[in-house]
Amino acid sequence: MLLDVVNLHTTLATGDTDVQAVRGIDFTIDQGETFCLVGESGSGKSVTALSLMGLLPTGLARHPHGSVTLMDRAMPGGGSHRTSLLTLDNQAMSSIRGRRMAMIFQEPMSSLNPVYTVGEQIVEAIQLSHPHISNAEANVLALQALTDVRIDDPENRINEYPHRFSGGQRQRVMIAMALACKPDLLIADEPTTALDVTVQSEILELISQLQIATNMAVLFITHDLGVVAQIADRVAVMRDGLIVEQGSKDEVLFRPQHQYTVELLSALPENLQRLPSTVRSTPLLLDVSGLSVHFPLRRGLLKRTYGYLKAVDNLDLQIRRGEILALVGESGSGKSTLGRAIVRLLKPTSGAVRFNGTDIGTLSASQLRTQRTDLQIVFQDPLSSLNPRLNIATTLIEPMKVHGIGESDIHRESLALQLLSDVQMPADSLWRFPHEFSGGQRQRIGIARALAVNPALVVCDEITSALDVSVQSEILQLLLDLRDRFSLTLLFITHNISVVEYISDTTAVMRHGKLVEVGPTATVCHAPRHEYTQRLLEAVPRMNNFKVGGS
Amino acid sequence: MTNTGKPLDQRHREGPGAALIRNTFCSVGAKLGTGWLLLLVFTAVFAPLLANSRPLLGSYNGVLQSPALAYLSALDITLIVAFVLTVAVWRTRLPYKVVIVLCVAALTWGISQVLVNVPKLSVYEEHREQPALSMTDWEVLAPIPYSAKDYLRDYGDTGLQAPGFYDGRAHYLGTTENGADLLSRMIHATRLALGIGLLATGIALFIGVLIGGVMGYFAGIIDMLCMRVIEIFEAIPTLFLLLTFVAFFDRSLYVMMVIIGLTSWPGYARYVRAEFLRLRQQEFVQAAVASGLPLGSILFRHILPNAVAPVLVAASFGVASAILAEATLSFLGLGLVDDPSWGQMLNQAVRSSTFNWWMALFPGGAIFLTVFSYNLIGEALRDALDPLSRSSNAKKVDTAVGAS
């Protein structure tokens, strides 16, 4: 046993009231094993990790009960040296951090300091926990660490600044920093959530290989049950600061006992009840032909254009009336740009977007304004997609008023109420402000706003990416329901393959601004022809692939 | 929007704006600052009734008269009407309260311009002579029975006098070198102090928000051109421009306000531009564009209200610096000639051979307190806006919990 957590409580002081973020959890982590802590947002899993590392702001966080004990692995046999982490002062704790326990975080873009080279940052981490190492020795160790995390050409890249590294590479550098001092326990807080699936699978592979090489234990925090199925030895499911169920991976994921775990698993898109695919030969609604969106790249004093970023490059796409077309691609593939060009938030560089035969790209400003009612968009980020200073009524009624929907304000108000009930929101939401709603509720309101002008086509730009699985499944079911009732056509942009399989009739795979494969979802997802699609699908961690045995 | 019979409290939920104001005034500093400023506003509005050589009310040979009211100017009347009306509607739930107050004030201004006829000549001594000639049955004097420009020429001993009692005259804060009561002049100077700060900053805000908003929303070439204009204006030193104007033209309060306003807008424009650039990319603005809303609504309804808050912080500091600019000018002897101003009194503190401490302490203290009040409010507003420093405890926990 390496780490023993007994009855851990964490209380956070928030102004007037105390929040009990963790309310008595017990678990142990053995040497060399991977322990996954799964839960939805607000379940207290990150607070648990920060409590273990002693990284919560002192004075705000208290641990009224419980103990965390770290065993010394150097001593064989039972009589090992124990360190009680919660009682340590900050100085003693910092000798544990890094050397015995290291942590990597979710956001690779902001967790490296942009003004130091990656080498300097790794050397600093090494020297903080081993103060007597000379610079030259530390450099050798840093180089070794970068080699271990498989950064290509480490001799040169060690002297480069973080902005020259991609998200996946930065996460590798973070892992190199964390592992430079050979910790016994690595705490990984959603390390792959911000990464593309192909990069995610590489990082997961890397962590498990390093783990075997050093016999290090990993506490892996995630919300993605697919990832859990891929890497976990043991799993604990957290909810509201409590562990509701824990056990081996097979027990928890495939023979769940607790009601909540069952609900969580059944909310996964791959476990949702799938509707019979409705392949219809309806007329074309949207015809994108030869569409390009190029952004000029400028440099120098006079901002001379020296090249173009081809976000969408000579792309053809057809969507039929009533169809749900899923647009899949990794970050930077241009899928959001395509979505915005279709609703004409961006002016295409060339090519045509024909909606019902009208070319959206060439409309004048006033023609466009009336045409906009047909094409609506719902955005990814529930935090920024509603105007924080307007109440929901104003947000919903203003577009109706502009486009002359409804006869009077009273009528429009009743229409808005009807919309809210269509997206399953309570009627009193009408006079509330966005900050009073949760992420899933705001996404529903975003959908209601799009529906307010009776659109024919709605572009859904990663609308479930920021949501928990249970909320995601509700939103997906809502969309299918609305599609039927409002006879909508949906362009569903996502990076999540299981969502695609659940919701879409047709799937288009996008890469580097071009479509690599388009076809019925069943064909694309189960018999992909293009090499890139195959690679993308292989990288997706799927629960059911890991059903037999463990890793 | 029309009311369809919903309970009122549903429609009057606290929005982010109300929450911001509440958070701002949570701080003790903002409360104290606002308290001082409200006191100043009250003093400024009722200055002619608080400090006046003419009796407020009196019976002269059996005729009831109010000499103080007879000498009220159109501006005095408008200010008093607007103030009383504001207090009256403050707590009510009338719609368009601000508009009502402004309309009534404008109406009063127009009517009183026509009707009010202030006597051109004003002889302060007559009111002191009347009781002696036993023409007065009874009279009610103002709390400070001296007007700002009453130089007490009917007394022989006037001049610079320290606070105290002289021949039955009470000068609580002393007198100026011309023999006018210092407290009275300070009371009448609050109008200038408040007015110059608010009007100069108002002009600057108007220009700054307009130009900054256009720059931020349209970006590109317009942004580049306006930025060069901003740089030109930023290169103009306000105080030297003021000195030059005062040297060549009349010493006018309005010219001063306009010049301070015209030279201090670039800072606000930069703030607004940055906010508009940021907000333009926000998804709620994109959604407004996608809904086909007109440009005016996008600019003024969806972007501007989200952009003004940081500008207000800058503005509260701007008001303070405008007051200081006027005080500096007056201190240098280039301010208004006869009208009272705090800076001008400071000037008198050092002009004569002796150091007249009361002339330095009281006006200096008033300037200090006023500038400090604006700074306190600005600081509290900034803290309320800043998600990191505002009730930092709660926020940190939010982040910690939100990350899980």
State residue B8's pLDDT score: 42
The runs of H, that is alpha helices, within A7-63 are 45-53
Q: By mean pLDDT, which of A66-80, A299-313, A411-425 is the weakest?
A: A66-80
pLDDT in tens, A110-135: 888 889 999 999 998 888 777 788 88
How buried is B227 (Cβ within 10 angstroms: 0-12 exposed, 13-18 middle, 19+ buried)? Answer: middle
Q: Does A367 touch chain B (CB under 8 A)?
A: no
Res. A548: pLDDT tops 70: no
pLDDT band for A74, please (50, 70, 90 cuts): low
| pLDDT band at residue A277 under the 50/70/90 scheme | low
Q: Give how far B266 is from chain A: nearest CA, Å.
A: 24
Tell whether the model's pLDDT for residue B12 goes beyond 60.
Answer: no
If you average pLDDT over residues A267-287, what whole number do you get?
76
For every residue of B77-135, DSSP letters joined together read HHHHHHHHHHHHHTTS--TTHHHHHHHHHHHHHHHHHHH----S---SHHHHHHHHTT-
pLDDT of residue B377 exceeding 80: yes
pLDDT, average across residues B177-186: 88
Q: What is the pLDDT at residue B396?
A: 40
Question: Looking at the complex, does the CB of residue A188 fall below 8 Å from at least one CB of chain B?
Answer: no
Say what percent of chain B tops pLDDT 70: 91
Is B275:B307 a contact under the CB 8 Å cutoff?
A: yes
Sign, CA dihedral A450-A456-A460-A461, equals negative
B392 pLDDT above the threshold of 50: no
pLDDT of residue B204: 93
β-sheet bridge partners, residue A220: A36, A188
* Least confident among A14-28, A215-229, B386-400: B386-400
* A441-497: pLDDT as tens digits: 999 999 999 999 999 999 999 898 888 888 899 899 999 889 888 889 999 999 888
**How close, in Å, is residue B372 to chain A by CA atoms?**
28
A265-275: b (≥16 Cβ within 10 Å) or e: bebbbbbbeee
Choose the weakest-confidence range: A291-305, A524-538, B7-21, B284-298: B7-21
A380 touches chain B (CB under 8 A): yes
* pLDDT attached to residue A287: 92
Element (H, E) at A180: none
Structure confidence at residue A20 (pLDDT)? 86
Which H or E run contains A460?
A: strand A457-461
A374 in contact with B, Cβ within 8 Å: no
How close does chain A come to B308, measured CA to CA in Å? 12
Domain ranges within chain B, ordered by starting residue: 40-180, 183-391
Cβ separation B290–A376 shorter than 8 A: yes
| DSSP designation for A273 | P
State which residue of chain B sits closest to A57, comparing Cα positions. Answer: B396
- A399, A410, A446 ranked by CB distance to B293: nearest: A399
Both tokens assigned to A323: 């169809």
- Which residues in chain A touch residue B287, judged by CB atoms under 8 angstroms apart? 377, 379, 385, 446, 449-450
d(CA A39, CA A48): 12
Q: Is A18 on the interface with B (CB under 8 A)?
A: no
> pLDDT tens digits, residue range A140-150?
989 988 888 88
Residue B388 has pLDDT above 70, yes or no: no
| Tens of pLDDT, residues B321-372 | 888 888 888 888 777 778 888 888 888 777 767 778 888 899 999 999 998 9
Q: What pLDDT, on a 0 to 100 scale, did the predictor assign at position A338?
A: 93
Contact map slice: A 304-343 vs B, CB within 8 A: 340, 343
Judged against a pLDDT cut of 80, whether residue B401 lies above it is answered with: no
At B337, the amino acid letter reads V
Strand (E) positions, B113-272? 136-140, 164-166, 169-171
pLDDT of A413 higher than 70: yes
The pLDDT value given to residue B403: 40
Neighbours of B26 (CB within 10 A): 14
**For the stretch B370-391, what's the b/e string if a residue is b when 16 or more beta carbons lie within 10 angstroms of its beta carbon?**
bbebbbbbbbbbbbbbeeeebb
| Per-residue confidence band for A199, with pLDDT thresholds at 50, 70 and 90 | confident
User: How many other C-beta atoms lie within 10 A of the C-beta of residue A409?
Assistant: 16
Q: Specify the pLDDT at position A363.
A: 85
A232-248 tens-digit pLDDT: 999 999 998 899 999 99
Give the tens place of pLDDT for each residue, B95-121: 788 888 899 999 999 998 888 887 777
Mean pLDDT of B267-280: 91
Instruction: Decide if pLDDT at B5 tops 60.
Output: no
A58 touches chain B (CB under 8 A): no
Residues, chain B = 404
Q: pTM of whole model > 0.95?
A: no
Averaged pLDDT score across all residues of chain A: 87
SS3 (DSSP) at A402 = helix
Above pLDDT 70, what percent of chain A? 95
Cross-strand partners of A287: A318, A354
Highest mean pLDDT among A16-20, A162-166, B79-83: B79-83
Q: How confident is the model at residue A531 (pLDDT cuts 50, 70, 90)?
A: very high
Q: Which residues of B touch A (CB under 8 A)?
A: 1-2, 4, 6, 10-11, 13-17, 282-294, 297, 301-302, 305-306, 391, 393-394, 396-398, 400-404
Tell how strand A242-248 and strand A358-359 pair up.
Answer: unpaired
Residue A173 has pLDDT above 80, yes or no: yes
Radius of gyration from C-alpha coordinates of chain A: 26
* Residue A78 in this model has a pLDDT that exceeds 70: no
- Cross-chain residue pair A13–B291, CB shorter than 8 Å: no
Contact at CB, B292 and A373, closer than 8 angstroms: yes
pLDDT at A541: 83
Which residue matches tokens 């503005």?
A: B315
Instruction: Determine contact, residues A414/A499, Cβ cutoff 8 Å.
Output: no
**DSSP 3-state of A436:** helix
Pull the structure tokens for residue B203. Answer: 């002009």
pLDDT at B390: 41
pLDDT at B3: 42
Distance from CA of A79 to the nearest CA of B (A): 35
pLDDT level of residue A280 (50, 70, 90 thresholds):
low
Over chain B, what is the mean pLDDT? 82
Q: How confident is the model at residue B389 (pLDDT cuts 50, 70, 90)?
A: very low
Q: Do B292 and A403 touch (CB under 8 A)?
A: yes
Question: pLDDT tens for residues A254-266?
Answer: 889 999 999 888 8
pLDDT the model gives residue A418: 92
A45/B13 touch (CB, cutoff 8 Å), yes or no = no
Q: What is the pLDDT of residue A417?
A: 92
Q: How would you label B294-325 residue by residue, b for 16+ Cβ within 10 Å and e otherwise?
A: eeebbbebbbbbbbbbbbbbbbbbbbbbbbbb
Would you place residue A80 in the very low, low, confident or very high pLDDT band (cuts 50, 70, 90)? low
Give yes or no for residue A160 having a pLDDT over 70.
Answer: yes
What is the amino acid identity at position A298? R
> Which range among A4-8, A301-305, A442-446, B189-193 shows the weakest confidence by mean pLDDT?
A301-305
Spatial strand order in the sheet of A324-328: A375-378, A457-461, A489-494, A324-328, A506-511, A514-520
How buried is B176 (Cβ within 10 angstroms: 0-12 exposed, 13-18 middle, 19+ buried)?
A: buried
Please tell me the class of the B183-391 domain. Answer: mainly alpha
Whether residue A226 has pLDDT greater than 70: yes
